[in-house]
Amino acid sequence: MDLILWRHAEAKDERDDQPDVDRPLTPKGERQARRMAAWLNQHLPESTRVFVSPTLRTRQTVQYLDRKHRIAEALGPQGSVSALLQVARWPDAKEPILIVGHQDTLGLTAAYLMAGMTQPWSIRKGAVWWFRQRERRGQAEVILHLVAAPEYL
């Protein structure tokens, strides 16, 4: 199974008069989202299912991806590793899963997948971490297939 974690692109700073869930992307964030989406459009398998946090910044990040997506409340900023893995049906999903979400949950999930415990790993804004689980010699193993930031594509 492939699990792709995509952190939302750069968003405007929080303001007292605007709820966190309504923060839009900055112009730089829009460029990051377009660049990463263009790359993902070329590299994601056709069967990839896409799940997105309900926040404005994640929905704006995924808008450039040429795929249908579903909003999953469990992927919001207060989400958990277990909720994310449940949405993704890790490790049992038959198709690749792309999750568009937030730091800290994405960083904690990356740490859990690679190290077996949650640790405060940081994922850059707009970046993708692509994991693959496979069976080798009767043992399940997780491979970090790719890490890419939009400015390097």
Delineate the domains of the chain, giving CATH numbers in brackets: 2-152 (3.40.50.1240)
The reported pLDDT for the residue numbered 14 is 84
Q: How many angstroms separate the Cα of 150 from the Cα of each of 10, 29, 34, 39, 145?
A: 11, 10, 9, 9, 16
The reported pLDDT for the residue numbered 19 is 87
Burial of 102 (0-12, 13-18, 19+ CB in 10 A): buried
The reported pLDDT for the residue numbered 16 is 78
The reported pLDDT for the residue numbered 103 is 97
**Intervals of the chain under pLDDT 50:** none
pTM, two decimal places: 0.96
